[in-house]
Chain A
Amino acid sequence: MGNFSQLVYLVPLFPLIGFLINGLFWKRMPKSMGGIIGCVAILASFIISLGIFFEVKNPAFQVEPKVLFDFIKSGDFYIPFAFQVDALSSLFLLIITGIGFLIHVYSTSYMHHDEGMVKYFAYLNLFVFFMLLLVLGANYVVMFIGWEGVGLCSYLLIGFWFKNRDYTNAGKKAFIMNRIGDLGFLVGMLLIIFNFHTLSYHEFFDKLHNSQTIVPTSTYNWIAICLFIGAMGKSAQVPLYTWLPDAMAGPTPVSALIHAATMVTAGIYMIVRSNALYDLAPMALDLVATIGLITALLAATIALYQNDIKKVLAYSTVSQLGFMFLALGVGAYTTGVFHVMTHAFFKALLFLGAGSVIHAMGGEQDITRMGGLRKKLPVTYFTFLIGVLAISGFPFTSGFVSKDEILMAVYEHNKLYFYLAAFAAVLTAIYMFRLFMLVFMGGFRGTQEQEHHLHESPSAITIPLIILAVLSLVGGFVQLPHLFGGHDYLNEFLAGAKIPAYVHEDASTAMKEMTLFGGTVLGLLIIFIATRKLFAVKQFDGNYTGFRKVLANKWYVDELYDAVFVRPIEALSNFLDKFAEKKGIDGVVNGVGKTVKWGGDRLRLLQSGQVGFYIFIMVLGIVVLFTLSFFWIK
């Protein structure tokens, strides 16, 4: 065995170098060269990540943080820039660099006509760099660096076509909403420092196991909730989810990589990483489960009536992330990670497929103007179908295995939550099949010119689709239930990072699993027939009325936030600027100034040359000012 884990610093270093080359020489770099540099950098990271993965798989592997250099040191307050390789981080390394590489390759074709292609690859490499820091950090500060760094890249890439005002608005919204979450993360970190005097994972978790008597449960709950607020922002959970659908303004491969497969799962990574904390914070866990469930349901209902292909997938992502948090909330940490993995496969596949469709349609994203594309785009059609089956939970696809595991875990925990989650899963299948039928089946509803130009995408696009389709099909086998002759390999692997699995197999399990299995098959059959009848059509009206209009308008949450937060803050700012500042404080100061001048003028007439009077009145003025401000504060 080689010593790949000693070379872990290379994993983020390659994308950083790729970023620097493309970023510094973006003006002179030929487009194709920029693409090659971007891809090679990620491929190199992927190879090392593979080596690390196999090393970590070895039971003899020892987890130890590697300090690269001192980051912040002040007295006994010490935060090193340190990495930690264990099962959890190595799995995320594979997802990030593996899927990242496929999406980079895809982008070389997708972004080929864009004048900013080299800049695009620079940003994309920078994103991978920060994402790798996020999962490799050995303490919360390094995680936070990656955390805000990926947010920055997300901001830059959402507003990549910066001439469009709406796009830059979307980027800004994403950044600011994430900042709200980040404040929660920051307060969480400060609470940890306050109570445990460390931010290193292993020291913190060791202290958690030893100090239960000293720190009250409420403190654990507060820390866990604050960290979870951070996760709400990054992973688009209620109430901080509205930035993600807007983030679809970015290029489609970006949506696949950042807003589906990797960055938005950072919140799940954070909670799984902190599982020792969350196990001591039952209230926080309940909150995680509830928020996850609400998000899963809310986003699924909205996805039912969206007409933009990327918006459907965006709400679907929000909903699936909700499922993951639901799993974490019932203590099924490995299940959450498992769904992160399978979701990365099929959602990246679906987004890239959508990109291929948009590409073929000449930039069209409205599914009411598509239809019948299966003949013209056979590879896209077939791989997209696999993605739809996987996310809908068709038996033995990756999505089936992971979603079943979530539902089983929830069933043990809370029956009501189970039924609601199952309902959300049904909605998932409905909106996905609706999307599929509207795009690929029925008759073409676009313009003749669009129809004329329809063509299958080049191999740089189709090959990643095929690889992801295969992964979406077989990815579930790492954790197939024993009932179907499988084994929980993933749980065993993650046990190396001290992540507890949710063990639910007993005598009654087989019965429940068979019921779930049968229900899924039957349900999908009904949904298939129904959506085929409704949406595989020649004519389709995408205008909704009544309650469906409420859903199509996303429950008017954006409008609500605008009325409750944005406009009041603007009004307050205007009040402070126009009134408090100019009339209030400045008015007092100018008044004092004028009084001094006036008084000076008058006094000069009486006793010219007496400087003392000026000073006296100035001091008097200050006392007045001070007294005023003093009473204002109290």
Chain B
Amino acid sequence: MSEGIGHNVPRVDARSKVTGEAIFTGDLKLSGLLHGKVLRSPYPHALIRRINTDRAASLPGVVSVLTSTDLEDIDPYYGHSIKDRPLLAIDRVRFVGEPLAAVAAEDEVTAEQALSLIEVEYEDLPAATTLEEALSDDAPRLHETDTLRPGLFHGLGELNPDGNICYQHSIHRGDLAEAFKQAEIIVEQEYTFPAVYQYAMEPHTVIAAWEGKSVTVWASCQHPYLVRAELAELFDLPVASVRIIVPFLGGGFGSKSYTKMEPITVALARKARRPVRIANRVDEAMVTTRRHNMRCWMRTGALADGTLIARHVRLWMDTGAYADNGPRVVATAADAAPGPYRWKSFQVEAYCVYTNRPPSGSYRAFGATHLQWIGESQVDEIARQAGVDPVDIRIQNLLRPGEEVRPGGKALDADLVGDVQKIADALDWGSPKPPDTGRGLGVGLLAAGARPVSTAIVRMEIDGHATVLVSSTEMGQGVRTVMSQLASQELALPIEHIRVPGGDTWITPYDRSTGASRSTTLAGMAVHRAAREVRQQLLEIASQAFEVALEAIELRDGAAWRGDQSLSYSELIQFHFGFTGGELIGRGEVSPGGNKGSYAEGPVFWEVCVGGAEVRLDRDTGRLHITKLVSVADVGQAVNPDLVKAQEMGASMQGLGNALFEEMIFDEGQILNGTLLDYHIPTTEDMPDQFISRLVENEDGPGPYGIKGAGEGALAGVPAAIVNALADIGVQVTELPLTPERVWQALREAEAEHDDGGSPS
């Protein structure tokens, strides 16, 4: 089938997206729709002494004003990993931008105006707005850690909270002290990673309509079923009474994972008894979620020949005022910290820290992006000291397929050595370099897949067309196209006869989430199985119709063939029901079975994070120009190679932004660069001269046809490659992003050191 797997089928959503017909949440209109606006805290930490909403409520056009007093009939706390967050601030605010009241009005201007009429009396509290402050002995406490409740989906084992640390996680193997004793080369350094904004171009948008004892929510969310569960628990409803509908998402990248603006919108609709829309502005989206800034200390030991033997890592991640997905980010960072090498011993101690800053959550390749550039720069430094080529030291030390990555976890399922060689080839590794030009590479692994729980239904209707019901969210990655191709492959049906509507928890069946590069592998497996059930039914009906054995039937182009005789699927379904109606239904599921379901036994697969870069340095300004970026997508089997490449390009470009200039700057917990005028993301003028993506298809994944996921790895691989390329020119940095000024400062320091070293003292 030319439209099944392995083919570059054009995106099934492309036409609607180039004509403006594609509907995003903010494009929907409902009759009686109210506009919701949120009052946010101007203080990083303060007690709320009094809120007076009288003037706001009496403004003509205002329908409802919501504060925490409206939530007294429910348990208003949520949080999928730690249930630490009130739907609206109760008694105290913990970050600049925290919602403490909301207004629903007939129009946006009235809603805005009403916000300005809400009187709030605050009492300033001492704030811990940095990791250092939060970890100090006399730090103000953000939460009573002894009463922290785990959330519905924490999957983290013990939280081990302590002071402002809400979660700690450690992994280790072997005798660390003994291994370091043998080390002949030791590299040790502290590093800093900045807070980064995901900037999905569509800010969070939610519409909620409360009807009797049920609620319908249109949400720009990645994980409708997890949002449903949290809303059902918050508002004490059966899960089936919460309906989540997900139109097209204007980008996700993790920023729309788990629950964000949905609870406030639902609470407002519940009070107003009319549908309400809340559409975040970009500055509000920035205080809704972000990437964790991090402090890290790392020590790596090796033998004189470059054999890596020991690594010790401590890392502290700033999860902001509420945990959000912080604990999972910290656990994944810990997984990524050792890097994919054959250690005698390693130890990682990872801490998730509350601060009086906006909450941090998921962002594409979290954990791996944080750690890989650090680990890989130490590997390169060891290579320099050992006099070994960076490619060779990796071939020498990289794990081979089947080897243990971390204790108790899944063995390596990728050919990292082959991947690294592909990067080296694409970079012309050994070739002479122009002046002030460096090359670097980075290799790592990302624990991918999240919980392997997905279900799907395939319906084949009376006209022989199929509808694939699956709750994976189309956020740009092309999941509707991929699911169409997987169904097309099994059903032997042209793709234009297959429809994949968006997620709707009343209609499309359970899928854990859309993230962690899991959809093609896991939801794809469910679709594959559901389509196979329909395929089997078609074969059985055809066997009856033709009165031959199943094996004599071939399914091709939407019809069953026996020799040169054929019956279309439509005819087969009519034959089966004896009527011009009826449909065939196939179901598919993926489940870890009866296992204990601990993440520790994961991941579903290891996603490779492999990148290469060639950079040119302008010594006068410190500006880096990226001449070449390379990524490797080690995907087992590509359903649609063009879509894989598109993911690689997008992830690489985000990696470039994370490496070179993206950084949220805070002062006393207040964001200073809260608009796109001051927060720069990559534009067409930041593109590298050349981008090369190599596809590796070893059919070694757990999905159908050996598929495994992709789309995140390059974001972690690229910063590591750029950092190492810069070090190749002689400039070592321990803090991202590599802004021209930071690089220029590093150059000056390097020159000063060089001058000192050369002086005849």
Tell me, yes or no, whether A binds B. no
Interface residue ranges, B against A (CB under 8 Å): none
**A residues within 8 Å of B by Cβ?**
none
